Amino acid sequence: MLNKFIPFLIFAGLLAGCSLHSGSTFEQGEMGSPTYFKKGVILSVRDVTIKGTESGVGAAAGATAGGVAGSTLGGNTATRALGGLGGAVIGGIVGHTTENLITGGDASEFIIQPDEGEPYSIVQVNDEDLKEGERVLILESGKLRIVRDKTASK
């Protein structure tokens, strides 16, 4: 009985590591690594939608789980085979849709004017509720991210 849930557990574990880029969320490898920064100001902010990934992991895990679950239906080999096939198709569709929903989401596009240099855009989750005209630190550690500049004179 437990074997029927293994594909679901694998799928959930793979998707648990997916998250949108945030100003306050760092990856394990960034701990202890130097982060360089410069200062700037937010010229504009707009809401954007991040399309979910389509790696095939969701569809594969869903098809596997659906196939295993569907194959337990019926009393003979033919009905079990049909149940497995139907379960795999439905599970694949559900897994694909679930992966898209979990790995996508809402974020903000910020147009940033660094104190020195040309303006550019950064897309990340606006978990600090940053606004146009606000001073920010532009952190550089492999990826760019912005956070509120709490060092700015008031």
Q: Determine, yes or no, domain membership for 26.
A: no
**CA dist., res. 73 & res. 84, Å (int):** 8
**Closest by Cα among 9, 50, 16, 44 to 134:** 44
Residue 68 and residue 143 in one domain: no
Q: Model confidence at 112, in pLDDT bands (50, 70, 90)? A: very high
Residue 144 and residue 113 in one domain: yes
Residue 139 and residue 68 in one domain: no
Residue 59 and residue 15 in one domain: yes
**CA dist., res. 39 & res. 83, Å (int):** 60
Residue 81 and residue 12 in one domain: yes
Residue 145 and residue 75 in one domain: no
Residue 89 and residue 110 in one domain: no
Q: Model confidence at 88, in pLDDT bands (50, 70, 90)? A: confident
Looking at every residue in the chain, the average pLDDT score rounds to 79
pTM for the structure as a whole: 0.57
* pLDDT of 147 above 60: yes
Range of the domain at 98: 1-19+52-103
Please tell me the total number of residues recorded for the chain in this structure: 154
- pLDDT the model gives residue 83: 82
Residue-wise pLDDT tens digits, 3-47: 555 555 455 554 444 445 555 666 666 666 667 899 999 999 999
Domain of residue 134, CATH code:
2.40.50.100
Bridge partners, 47 (sequence order): 108
Token pair for 12: 């959930």
